[in-house]
Amino acid sequence: MKPDIDLFGVFIPTLLIAALGCYLVYRLLHAWLARIGLYRHVWHPALFDVALYFTVLGTVMLCLEQTIS
């Protein structure tokens, strides 16, 4: 994985870009799961949301590591 991305001369960490992209994916997943009613069966929705975000982020980072290496 490349440690930094050069954006017009400013080096931005790859993790920051991935985290922002994963946040958008997380919001879409959250809306979809709320629409189908999954949150009625979840014991602690805030904890579930944090775990969902980090699961998405971890999956994306693993995929980035596999494609770049």
- In the chain, where the domains are located: 20-68
Q: How far apart are CA 50 and CA 69, in angstroms?
A: 28
In this prediction, residue 69 carries a pLDDT of 61
Whole-number pLDDT of residue 4: 83
The pLDDT, as a whole number, for residue 22 is 97
Determine the pLDDT at residue 2: 66
Residue type, 17: I
pTM of the entire predicted model: 0.85
SS3 2: coil
Q: For the chain, list residues with pLDDT below 70.
A: 1-2, 68-69
